[in-house]
Amino acid sequence: MGKILVCDDEQEILDITQLILEDSGHDVTAIINSNEVVSHIENQQPDILLIDLWMPGLSGDQVITQLRTNINIINLPIIVISASKDGRAVAFAAGADDFLEKPYDMDALLIMVAKHLETHRQI
């Protein structure tokens, strides 16, 4: 199982995502403030990041861009979860590894997380 950081500006989405992942055995930290993501990753070193795109403060694509230029965490798997119609293109342009559309299917989330955790462990 993995150590997962989830960032979304909607508390309900954070709560549901955290519950789903914890019920599957993952260690989950959920934060609502996107400005805290980079420092949290540097300090806690999660195995994967799940992040929304459009949030107050730093947007998800801005966070991803920062992470992809940080040599210490450049290989962190990042999954964007968004309801935005152009979200997929924005996410991949910023450097995300995967995209999950809101509202998301629980099984799809768990499969995607498992795939990226396995890939990350092989690096």
User: Which has more pLDDT, 71 or 82?
Assistant: 82
In a domain, 122, yes or no: no
In a domain, 38, yes or no: yes
Task: Categorize the per-residue pLDDT at 73 as very low, low, confident or very high, splitting at 50, 70 and 90.
Answer: confident
In a domain, 118, yes or no: no
Q: What is the CATH number of the domain that holds 93?
A: 3.40.50.2300
What digits encode the pLDDT tens for the residues 6-50? 999 999 999 999 999 999 999 999 999 999 999 999 999 999 999
Given a cut of 90, is residue 122 above it in pLDDT?
A: no
Q: Looking at residue 8, what DSSP letter applies?
A: -
In a domain, 119, yes or no: no
Question: In the chain, how many domains are there?
Answer: 1
In a domain, 123, yes or no: no
In a domain, 114, yes or no: no
> Domain limits at 49?
3-109
What digits encode the pLDDT tens for the residues 93-110? 999 999 999 999 999 999
User: Residues 16, 4, 112, CA angle at the centre, nearest 5°?
Assistant: 75
In a domain, 73, yes or no: yes
**pLDDT at site 71:** 87
In a domain, 92, yes or no: yes
- pTM tops 0.85: yes
**pLDDT at site 69:** 93
**pLDDT at site 2:** 93
| Strand order through the sheet with 3-7 | 27-31, 3-7, 48-51, 78-82, 98-101
